[in-house]
Amino acid sequence: MSKSGLKYILLSAPLILLTLFINHLLPSLSPLFLSLLLGLIVGNLMPARQAIDEGAPLLSKYGMRTGIALWGFQISVSNLRSIGWKGFLAILIVVLVTFTCTRWLAERIGFTPGLSLLLASGFSICGASAIAAVGAARKSDKDEISYAIGLVTLLGTLSIFVIPPLTRLLSLSNVTAGSWIGAAVHDIGQVIATASFVGGNTIKYAVITKLSRVVLLAPLLIFLSLGNKSEASRGQAIRGRNLLPPFIIIFIGFVILNNFISLSTHELGVLNNISKFLLAFGLFSMAIKVRFAALRRIGGAPLAFGIVLWIFFGAFSLGIIKALGI
């Protein structure tokens, strides 16, 4: 690595650690979103620096991919057992319908296939983390990744203030409220914040439901990676080792390993913090090359579309949970 690249890492790392510290104090503020926001600000204030040009591409690619691979240790099949077949069925229906409808509708009203896919992934699985993972797997446009993360973070934050009063207005039990929050809110920090405003043991059911949604990230990445390779091949034969990107294979390996070995809460916490740091650094490094003018060109239509989706799928997820008697 060049001196400029090393200088970039040394100067940027404290900013990423700051986002993690803020997240520790205010869990509803995602360090991924904060890092993205910082990257946009820094990159637009000082766009032409050699250190940025040499260090940012390296971190945006390898930092993000390593963080995604380590995220595999946060996925446990035991979450599916703890919510029962009704809970899993509800999550499966909500995720599949949200992903399919969002992607289909977004493309029909004129969004690019890349942005449509990123929005569908963020709304259906786990917000910024899913967008980062899918963006890396599909090598998505960095401007569209930034826009999609900003949008799902904004709407997830609104959920913190909107859903708790609705749970009281509708007289929902803690189980129903927690299941709804876990199924409808995007980021795990936002899920915890939303459930904490409801009170009782709502947080328990919200977190279990949310983590069960995260389990579906693994099959989604496999599906999208295979689909991407299939499109790229244009009918040509693909060698087995090229079917999936290496970081997706490692991610799947860590998911499998996590379900066969017993890691302590402390060990899982350390791995989670390393993953967050690398993901945040990767997003910061990606955003630092994005210009505000490029985001303005995407326009306000995705924002209006996202608000409509947020309202509709929030109501849809509650309807499914109630229909299944949860």
The 10s digit of each residue's pLDDT in 278-292 is 988 888 887 887 777
Amino acid, single-letter form, for residue 316: F
Considering only CA atoms, give the Rg of the chain. Answer: 19
In a 10 Å sphere around its CB, with 0-12 CB exposed, 13-18 middle and 19+ buried, how is residue 14 labelled? exposed
Q: Which residues of the chain fall below pLDDT 50? A: 233-243
Residue that the structure tokens 């904004």 belong to: 154
Who contacts 122 (Cβ-Cβ below 8 Å, separation ≥6)? 128, 130, 131, 148, 149, 151, 152, 186
Q: Give residue 173's pLDDT.
A: 92
Q: Give residue 79's pLDDT.
A: 63
* C-alpha span between 54 and 61 (Å, rounded): 12
Q: What are phi and psi of 90, to 5 degrees?
A: -60, -45
pLDDT digits (tens, 9 = 90+) for 19-51: 999 988 888 778 888 888 888 888 888 765 666
Q: Give residue 239's pLDDT.
A: 43
Spacing of C-alpha 285 from chain mean position = 17
| Closest listed residue to residue 73, CA positions, set 313, 265, 291 | 265
String of b and e for 227-238 (b: at least 16 CB within 10 Å)? eeeeeeeeeeee
Q: Give residue 48's pLDDT.
A: 58
The Cβ of residue 85 has, within 10 Å, a number of other Cβ atoms equal to 10
- Cβ atoms of 192 and 163 within 8 Å: the answer is no
**Coil, helix or strand at residue 88:** helix
- Cβ atoms of 129 and 32 within 8 Å: the answer is yes
- Cβ atoms of 7 and 55 within 8 Å: the answer is yes
